[in-house]
Chains A and B, each alone.
Chain A
């Protein structure tokens, strides 16, 4: 009986200690002390951050209705906003999306067709460090398409991709030559763990010439990618067997240099079995 009383007393003391730990700032277990310090460090990191986010990978994607998705990434969590207009006065501003993210996407609707727009993107980190990009352009009549005859491939199989730059307007559009012979096109393979491998297919030899795409017409280029290429890259970078099976995202980027700089990007999901 005495033993039971002792036990109850001991558990009572422990229960009181637990209560004290939570109410007086005592930490229950070393790991909870670490948790508290980690939270403090999280706040300290935000407060001491005087560097604005770095913006990169600004791309546009135009759909059939002349709606445009503008995407970019920042090197830290930041808000999302776009200013745009037909001149670099940017008379339109989207409502700032105050969710803190790394990958930013803004859909612009109600745009005029066959029109060149100016835009800049803005992001603000948690310590109110704001950054704006330089002036960028998109053309609501110029569209990038990716066509593949299937979406499921076997390991080692060649993936044939037809990339098409389409003029949806009633006028000629002058752009840089649409060709894989230039560094303007990158193929990116996004691994299941989120790492993006960038592979430049060809190197830039000279400034690409300017060509004209007629109204309603397009220029096409066919490329072939073998899975083995990615295997080599992966093996070299990570020194481990490439898990070839999985879901991947094939990203095609078209960058026009003359007479305007356009950065168009489209993605397709593929499965390697």
Chain B
């Protein structure tokens, strides 16, 4: 988790010099704390953003980590909430008492983001995720669908364009 946080800070520092959102969100960069992880979001276009994200848990006898990329497409603003949908692709590693291995996750999601200050917003989305993990020693796999809720708080260095 510390490594991931260091990576996020490093990326932020590298790109923070080019932050500007005087007109639209294009080029804007934000960092976020999501549960349970962190991410860096970059607005490639005014309504399209990419996010590098990492999450990690270690409880109930399972150590799991995911690293991935999220793509957002923003749509209409309903009230004060910007709606979006997107795709997330992750690489996952895990370790349990009897098994360890890795796998992939693909999630389609839709949700909304609400800016409650010039630089701060909260977002939430929900969607189905296809998870396919493989045990390293036996090649046994366990593909299946899970529904995922994501929640995060974003800080945008260039402010948020309304």
Interface residues of A (CB under 8 A from B): 3, 6-7, 10-11, 13-14, 17-18, 20-21, 25-42, 44-46, 48, 76-77, 126
User: Does B9 touch A at the CB level, under 8 Å?
Assistant: no
Provide the B74-99 mask, 1 if CB < 8 A to any CB of A, else 0.
Answer: 00000011000000101010111111
The contact of B147 among A6, A27, A35, A44, by CB within 8 Å, is A27
Q: Contacts of B59 on A, CB cut-off 8 Å?
A: 35
* Chain A contact residues, majority secondary structure: helix
- Is A27 in contact with B140, judged by CB distance below 8 angstroms? no
Instruction: List the B side residues contacting A38 at CB < 8 Å.
Output: 62, 64, 94-96, 99, 133
The answer to whether the Cβ of B44 comes within 8 Å of any Cβ in the partner chain is no
Q: Which of B122, B144, B150 contacts A30 (CB 8 A)?
A: B150
CB distance from B95 to the nearest CB of A (A): 8
B43 to chain A, nearest CB (A): 22
Residue B146 lies at the interface, judged by CB distance under 8 Å to chain A: yes
Q: Which of A17, A31, A48 contacts B126 (CB 8 A)?
A: A17
Q: Name the 10 nearest CB pairs between A and B, nearest first.
A: A31-B55, A33-B146, A38-B94, A42-B96, A41-B142, A37-B131, A34-B64, A34-B92, A21-B149, A35-B64
Q: List B15-73 residues whose CB lies under 8 Å from chain A.
A: 34-37, 55-57, 59-62, 64-66, 68
A38 nearest in chain B by CB position: B94
Residue of chain B at shortest CB distance from A21:
B149
Hey, which chain B residues are within 8 Å of A77, CB to CB? Answer: 97-98
Residues in B whose Cβ lies below 8 Å from that of A30 = 55, 66, 68, 88, 90, 92, 105, 107, 129, 148, 150
List 10 additional A-B contacts (Cβ < 8 Å) besides A29-B151, A30-B88, A34-B94. A26-B149, A28-B148, A29-B34, A30-B129, A35-B60, A37-B144, A41-B140, A44-B140, A46-B98, A77-B98
A44 lies within 8 A of B142 (CB): yes
CA distance in complex: A34, B95 (Å): 11
Given A41-B99, A42-B97, A45-B140, also A31-B124 (CB < 8 A):
no
How far does the alpha carbon of A160 sit from the alpha carbon of B52 in the complex, in Å?
Answer: 56
The residues of A that contact B57 with a CB separation of less than 8 Å are 29, 31-32, 35
By beta carbon, the residue of chain B nearest A22 is B149
* Choice from B96, B126, B138 contacting A26 with Cβ under 8 Å: B126
Write the chain B residue with the least CB distance to A41.
B142
Q: Which of B64, B80, B97 contacts A31 (CB 8 A)?
A: B64
Interface check B7, CB cutoff 8 A: no
- What separation, in Å, do the CA atoms of A213 and B95 have in the docked complex? 51
**Set of chain A residues within 8 Å of B98, measured between Cβ atoms:** 42, 45-46, 76-77, 126
Judging by beta carbons under 8 Å apart, are A29 and B55 in contact? yes
Contact call B97/A36, Cβ cutoff below 8 A: no
- Residues of chain B from 107 to 162 with CB closer than 8 A to chain A in the complex: 107, 114, 116, 122, 124, 126, 129, 131, 133, 135, 138, 140-142, 144, 146-151
Q: Are B138 and A28 interface neighbours, CB within 8 A?
A: no
Q: Would A17 and B36 count as touching, CB distance under 8 A?
A: no
A242–chain B nearest beta-carbon distance, Å? 26
Cα–Cα distance between A14 and B114 once the two chains are bound (Å) = 12
Q: A19 → chain B, closest Cβ, in Å? A: 10
A-B contact pairs, 12 of them (CB 8 A): A17-B149, A17-B151, A26-B147, A29-B150, A31-B56, A31-B57, A34-B92, A34-B94, A39-B96, A40-B144, A41-B99, A77-B98
Contact of A10 among B34, B62, B114, B147 (CB under 8 A): B114
B133 touches A34 (CB 8 A): yes
CB distance from A173 to the nearest CB of B (A): 43
For residue B45, give the distance in angstroms from its CB to the closest CB of chain A: 24
The answer to whether A27 touches B138 (Cβ under 8 A) is no
- Residues on B with beta carbons closer than 8 Å to the beta carbon of A25: 147
Question: Which B-chain residue is minimally distant from A100 (CB atoms)?
Answer: B97
Please determine whether B36 and A31 come into contact, CB atoms closer than 8 angstroms: yes
